[in-house]
Structure 1
């Protein structure tokens, strides 16, 4: 069960090969080093740009206290492998992605403390399997930070989690500690004030069941409380069918004060994929999301897969309670080839997203990707 829990925590996917170099292992202590370097080119409206493809490096540590009890730690940093700039300033070479410590018992489950993949992602992430895009409609990366850390739905900050599995039943619980952006919510700079936050706490729960046939069903709920801000709510239900040749998944979510659908595909945010947004203090009062994903692995050509998916996030009420026609709406087709430590992919996305007034300035785009895992 420990290996199963570890796999869930790392959020392994169909599209991403799990690789890590074992640098040291004496049967009691173990050190692994992993990560990836990649680039992607995005062509939109006749223009092509080359960007960093979420390069990263991680270190994993394990110590066996007994046959049943293992201690572990994980640290991961994003790498700005290609020079990128934000408002005229060069981005930092390294950025924090993960940092946690915990213990895992073969019978009683696993406890993790620190910055980690959330238990919300254990279910909502079932459709976040694209080689390049995706993951924009289940509230995973929404909130005051681009990695979902503040609201605890992506790579959660300041979190303590518990995961356990009994037979096919999987349970996850998470609590998020108090935190602050360090900015004055009552200040005079409107941009700073909009992005400022003070979290008083947050909680999450996830429940899923894996059938022997490869079918899984699950549900997850998240609530985050803030000082002088509306509390954020996110809930998602999912179903998936996973076999060696085929992967099919669907997720459905409902959100309050958690998403910003009409900005979610307006400004690239680099390490979080091909779409993203600059966080502000104005979130959709109510929104509804759906994601679909399917992948077929060719048996005749080893390593070659084709996939398709839908991401749709509709605004039911704007932050001021008014009606909206805004939505994020993308459909993607992709091809993926894995050979050894390398991954090559091509993805074409049709973007039908709309602003609150129903108008659209979205463009379709083509993205090519090359990655090397280590």
Structure 2
């Protein structure tokens, strides 16, 4: 058994390509600028009209520095870009952290970052236009996708060419946001991979307004998105966790097929049900499914089209657009 070499940065999305322009490099340091811009036309998000919209454009800078003894320090800042409306809120923070990675000791990161919870349950969050919704509800405070003011540690072990075991730990301190009190929160994740499949489990727990707010999640995936057959199943069981619900269960499924021509076809399904208060009947928060296609015209430009069926409220959405990687 040997310890698995960790990458220097956790990918912002599992399936999307990642490009950056390296503007500086010497024997021990690098500095790069990256991100992407996307735009679409359709009835998307909260809009009830057909209009031009953006999906999730971003701009980031990243630097690395080898400080010796096998340790590389890296720092990253990333900002969402609101370029269609302009105004004072053109940039909002997505990521901001400093990390340190050692080949055997693992990776430590401090700041606003992608979380161990997302490492496991974000596996189905793949297509450009329509993917996971529940992961982004109150994400910063609960650390379900990106986590604010967080400390994480990750490491992994390889047992053979096709077998590995990875784990992650996360912590967030006390805070008050919008008159809601968040106590210290903790996360732990573990994932086992073999023969192209990965099975993962994650726990996220702490108190919100002096009530236990916790989530147990499991995910099973096979293959790699945009490369042949890919599939994933996600389930989470929550208490006082999903906004507005005393208890909730979340389900996500996706199946996709990527052609060698660069075209990816996918179908995904998402369902959330919960109880508003203890003892009340379960009520569906949302249930939706989407069919989508993406095509990589080049490594840096991807076109996409998708139609999402709102099974619960009959509020269907659709989008046609493109994404350009910087």
Query: TM-score if structure 2 supplies the norm length?
Result: 0.90
Give 1:325 deviation, angstroms. Answer: 2.8
Supply the distance in 2 between the matched residues of 1:40 and 1:196 (Cα, whole angstroms): 36
Supply the distance in 1 between the matched residues of 2:143 and 2:48 (Cα, whole angstroms): 37
Q: Is the 8 A contact 2:13 2:126 kept in 1?
A: no
Report the counterpart of residue 247 of structure 2 in structure 1: 286
Supply the distance in 1 between the matched residues of 2:182 and 2:281 (Cα, whole angstroms): 28
Which of the residues 229, 236, 258 maps onto 1:297?
258
Describe the SS at the equivalent of 1:120: helix
Report the counterpart of residue 314 of structure 1 in structure 2: 273
Supply the distance in 2 between the matched residues of 1:32 and 1:93 (Cα, whole angstroms): 22
Q: Is the 8 A contact 1:5 1:164 kept in 2?
A: no
Report the counterpart of residue 188 of structure 1 in structure 2: none
Report the counterpart of residue 78 of structure 1 in structure 2: 80
Determine whether 1:231 maps to 2:227.
Answer: no
Q: Is the 8 A contact 1:127 1:249 kept in 2?
A: yes
Give 1:53 deviation, angstroms. Answer: 2.2
Determine whether 1:208 maps to 2:204.
Answer: no
Q: Which 5+ residue runs of structure 1 have no aligned equivalent?
A: 85-89, 182-194, 261-282, 354-359
Q: CA RMSD in A?
A: 2.0
Describe the SS at the equivalent of 2:121: helix
Q: Extract structure 1 runs of 4+ deviating beyond 4 A.
A: none
Q: Residues 152 and 46 of structure 1: is their aligned pair in 2 closer, same or farther, counting only changes over 3 Å?
A: closer
The one-character-per-residue Cα deviations of 1:266-318 (angstroms, maximum 9, x if unpaired) are xxxxxxxxxxxxxxxxx21111111011111113xx21111111011111x11
Describe the SS at the equivalent of 1:149: helix
Give 1:46 deviation, angstroms. Answer: 8.2
Supply the distance in 1 between the matched residues of 2:210 and 2:168 (Cα, whole angstroms): 27
Supply the distance in 1 between the matched residues of 2:290 and 2:220 (Cα, whole angstroms): 20
Task: Judging by fraction of residues, say which structure has more strand.
Answer: 2
Supply the distance in 1 between the matched residues of 2:13 and 2:131 (Cα, whole angstroms): 15
Report the counterpart of residue 271 of structure 1 in structure 2: none
Supply the distance in 2 between the matched residues of 1:336 and 1:369 (Cα, whole angstroms): 10
Report the counterpart of residue 306 of structure 2 in structure 1: 347
Report the counterpart of residue 240 of structure 1 in structure 2: 221
Query: TM-score if structure 1 supplies the norm length?
Result: 0.79
Supply the distance in 1 between the matched residues of 2:190 and 2:155 (Cα, whole angstroms): 10
